[in-house]
Each structure stands twice: as structure tokens, then as C-alpha cells.
Amino acid sequence: GEEREISLKTGEAVVAALETLGHTVTRVFAGPGLDRALRSAELDVAFLALHGRMGEDGRVQGLLELLELPYTGSGVLASALAMDKPMAKKLFQLHNLATPRGYKVGRADVERALELHGDSGFPCVVKPAKGGSSVGLSVVHDAGALVPAVAHACRFGGEALVERFVQGQEVTVGILGDSVLGSCEVAFPREGFDYEAKYKGGAQYFLPPRLSDTRRVNVETLALAAYRALGCRGYGRVDVLCSDTENDVVLEVNTLPGFTPVSLLPKIAARAGLDFPELVQGVLDRATRDEAHVSDAARS
């Protein structure tokens, strides 16, 4: 997938930390034959170092459920909901959590993007409906740039999400278990925290965010509510925009956030007093599975 490079970096960082902690680690690379590789590895638990489609959207989680193998992070349903940004937005709205207004455009409707956009106005943000690491993200300022941006986003999964642009501070909130670890403001020299800014430099980080204590607590409370609304567990990272003029809004929930040297959750954990191996162990300690069973009621 398009996030393979980041997944490999996360994996190597996690392996190093687990080995430092004294665990015996087997690397299992996701791809064709993953089920056979998992069966032959004789694992006690799967520490997921996957980002994006296939690894973070519930598919690998479903395979691990079938293999009755505990794994880190959220379960099948929460993973699928969080990865599907338009569906996640519906859940946020159901729970009365503010999120930018938006709509979905499929590959077949790319040329109708302007018609679907209607009076939504500009600027707007266009990104893949299912994906992460800000791959395929664009900020669109006029009608002429909308169709190309939607077509570009549709390259990553076949669907794009178009959202109203919200001016403000981007704050990401780290969660371990069911508790907030802290938050970090991400400031960048150009619009949109895209892949280049995220992984190749240029971004600035403020821990804690440049917010009043009251507003920071409110943002962290909003993030935890979004995490719970999707049924997440284990750990996660929630992205929030702190609007200059309006309410704070939830952008998305990351169920398998990065563990690379420049990743945000480890930065947040470090400020909370958890070094990288301690954070990895904390995630590992919360590994589980859904353990759903068919009821005997139908046979009674």
C-alpha cells in the first residue's frame, strides 16, 4: 500500500523496543500468504505495525480474530469505521461531536465533483475517503482545481472526501487504553499537514499546544469522546482542528498511529513521562481480541 514505507519504519522501531524489553520478536510481513505466515510463526500476540488500507481498516484484525490471536489496537468494527472517514463523520454527528461538513465522491463521479460541491464554497480540503499519513491530501482554493484534486485523491482507494476548510490550529491527542496521555499542536509552513510536511520535515511541534488550559482540556475531552464513539480500544491518536472563529472540530481517529522517530504519539507519551519502550509495553499490555461467540439461543 501507499503507506508501506511508514509501516516498515514503525515495525523496526517497535521491534527494537520489544527486544530491549526482553521479548522474543518474529517479524511477519503483511502481503500474500499472510494467514499461512501467521499460523507458522507460533505467536502469542500480534503487535500491529501497519498503517493505511488493508492493515488498519479491520481486514488484518478480522484475520487475527479467525486465528484466535490477540493483537494490539482496536477491533474489527472500530478499525473499519475509523478508516472510512465519511462513515466516521456520521458517527461523530450521531454523538453530537462537531466535525467539518463534507461529502464523498466516487471515482465514477469525479467529473461531477463541481455539481456535487454545490454551494459548499472554497477553500475546501480533498483527501482519500480511506487512508492515512495525509497521502493524497489537497487544499483547493477555486473551482478549477476541484476536479483534479478529487481525481488525485481517488487514486488511493477509489473515493474522495471533500470537507469544508477550517482555519485554525491542528492539535493531535494521544490516547492509551481509555485515558488521554496529552496533546500536541502541529504547525506547518504551508496549508495542509501533508505527507511531505509530516515525514520529511518542515513541521513544528508544540507540547502542550498553544491553548489555554481550559481549551486544551476541552479539546482532549472532545478527542476522547470521538475515540469512544467509534468503539476504539488499546490506543489511538485523534486529530482535532481548533478553529479561530468557531467550535473545535474532530477530523479523524487514527487507530494505529505511527511509531516512527518523528511520530506524534511517542512525542506526546514522552512528555507524559513514558519513554518509547514503556509506551510500546503499554500498547502490548492492552492487546486483546473481540472473542465473539455465536449464541446458543437459536438452538434452545
Query: Active-site positions?
Result: 3, 133, 199, 237, 239, 252, 254, 258
CB contact set of 222 (below 8 Å; sequence gap of 6+): 97, 98, 240, 248, 250
CB contact set of 254 (below 8 Å; sequence gap of 6+): 82, 132, 236, 237, 238, 239
Rounded CA separation 214/216 (Å): 5
CB contact set of 84 (below 8 Å; sequence gap of 6+): 57, 129, 130
126 to 3, 109, 151, 164, 232: CA distances (angstroms): 18, 14, 10, 9, 25
Of residues 286, 248, 279, the one with CA closest to residue 264: 279
CB contact set of 20 (below 8 Å; sequence gap of 6+): 277
